[in-house]
Amino acid sequence: MEAGFARVLRIARATGLAGIEESISYGTPSLKLAGKFLARMKDDDTLVVKCPIPEKEMLMAAAPEVFFQTDHYVGYDSFLVRLSAAEDADIAGRLQAAWGMQAPKKFRK
């Protein structure tokens, strides 16, 4: 099975969302859109993803083995995805939602 950021990058490219770029955030590989944070690797099996707080709470309740947070992320519009437990569709959906939060009008055509 493909691991870590290589998997996330493949999934991000497959979504076809405009403007996603590879970057570095806090010393780890990340994805940004027009310089705005979408997602980054926290460690080899954990992806930090931008997410609206109400949606994050719902996802964590529905699938705590995949979606979770540490104390650091409580109250913030980001949460964690356990890649080893996530399906590609889970990751794609989270990247699409993060893109929707950050996309300027020129990308929303």
The predicted-structure confidence for 49-97, as pLDDT tens digits, reads as follows 999 999 999 999 999 999 999 999 999 999 999 999 999 999 999 999 9
**pLDDT-derived band of residue 5, with 50, 70 and 90 as boundaries?**
very high
pLDDT value at position 8?
96
Q: Tokens representing 38?
A: 């979408």
**pLDDT-derived band of residue 2, with 50, 70 and 90 as boundaries?**
low
CA distances from 20 to 9, 37, 95, 102 (A): 10, 10, 10, 11
pTM of the model: 0.92
Contact between residue 92 and residue 40 where contact means Cβ atoms under 8 Å apart: no
Q: Tokens representing 79?
A: 């949460």
pLDDT value at position 109?
66
Contact between residue 53 and residue 77 where contact means Cβ atoms under 8 Å apart: yes
**104: pLDDT strictly greater than 90:** no
Contact between residue 3 and residue 29 where contact means Cβ atoms under 8 Å apart: no
**43: pLDDT strictly greater than 80:** yes
**What CATH number was assigned to the domain covering residues 4-107?**
3.90.1150.30
Handedness of CA 63, 64, 66, 67 (dihedral sign): positive
